[in-house]
Structures are given as C-alpha cells and as structure tokens.
Amino acid sequence: MFRRTLLALAAASALSAPAFADGHSKDIVDTAIGDGSFDTLVAAVSAAGLVDTLKGDGPFTVFAPTDEAFAALPAGTVEDLLKPENKDQLVEILTYHVVPAKVMADDVAGQTVSARTVNGEKLLVDGRKGVMINEAEVVQADIMASNGIIHVVDKVILPEG
C-alpha cells in the first residue's frame, strides 16, 4: 500500500516537475521509488511521515539502505518499526541516514570526517578506502536528485543508544 501511494505521488509530480539547473527533475523520494531497490526504505519514509520533507528543497544527502540491508536486520525488526506506536524510533533511525547538505563521494575521498545528521547525531564518514558510513559501505555513490544526492549503503545505520 505504501508503495502504491508513493508511486501515485511520483507519477503526479513527474508530470509537473520542472527541470532543475543540475538537469535532475526527480527529487530524492521519486528517485528512490524509480530505482526499485528501496521499497522498504520508501515504505519506512512514508510510515514516518517524512515524504514531504525529503521532497523538499534540500539539499539532502541520503545514505539509503537497500531492501537487502533492511532484510538483514533481525526478524520482525522492520515490521515493528513500521507500527504507528514506534513512529518516533523510526523517525530517529531514518533521519540518522540524512545529512542536511549535498555531499559527493569525492568530497570525502582520502579523509575521515564526521557529519551531523538531521536527527542531530554524528556519523563517521571514512573515505580512505572507498566510502564507509559508520559500519556501512557505500556500494553506489552519487545518485543525483533535484534536491540532493543518494548514496546506497549495504546496512541500515543505527544511531547509538
């Protein structure tokens, strides 16, 4: 149901989406929907009420776990997080995957830096051998969207505590 709702949103916005200066007309949400590897992330973003935020002006850098990354969590974790009573925890986890700036892989190449996320905590970004975000590996970098960048990660990144 989440996917159908978001697909309808994407179809409606694609008809009226302007071409942006960088040539990318799809925002982060529509880009994730169109990829087909982020169904769980899209459902989680919808359940958390973050669709409008991630369709906003940005710029955002999203470290996007694949469906396989979510599937690697302990059994029942995703289902529990998607329950309305766990919305605050879901928002905390998802906003830990978002940096309120446009950060390209080349921006961190050869160095280790910390980045403050939308939830206020810091991520460790290690660009010395590929790019690692805490313990997650960036498996595909620099997917451009009209309002930011998506970096595909192989794990769900959990905030401490």
Q: What is the pLDDT of residue 132?
A: 95
Q: What is the pLDDT of residue 52?
A: 93
Phi-psi region of 151 (alpha: psi -120 to 50; beta: other; left: phi over 0): beta
Residue 158 covered by a domain:
no
CATH at residue 81: 2.30.180.10
- In the predicted model, is pLDDT for residue 5 greater than 90? no
Residue bearing the bigger pLDDT, 38 or 35: 38
Residue 52 covered by a domain:
yes
Residue 48 covered by a domain:
yes
Q: Each residue of 102-131: pLDDT tens digit? A: 999 999 999 999 999 999 999 999 999 889
Q: Each residue of 130-144: pLDDT tens digit? A: 899 999 999 999 999
Residue 78 covered by a domain:
yes
The total number of structural domains in the chain stands at: 1
- In the predicted model, is pLDDT for residue 54 greater than 60? yes
Q: What is the pLDDT of residue 161?
A: 64
Question: Domain range for residue 25?
Answer: 2-102+138-153
Residue 123 covered by a domain:
no
Residue 107 covered by a domain:
no
Q: What is the pLDDT of residue 129?
A: 87
The one-letter code for the residue type at 112 is T
Query: Which tokens in the block code for residue 70?
Result: 């979510």
Q: What is the pLDDT of residue 19?
A: 32
Residue 147 covered by a domain:
yes
List the helix and strand counts (H, then E) for the chain: 8, 7
At a CB cut-off of 8 Å and minimum separation 6, what does 55 contact? 13, 27, 28, 29, 30, 147
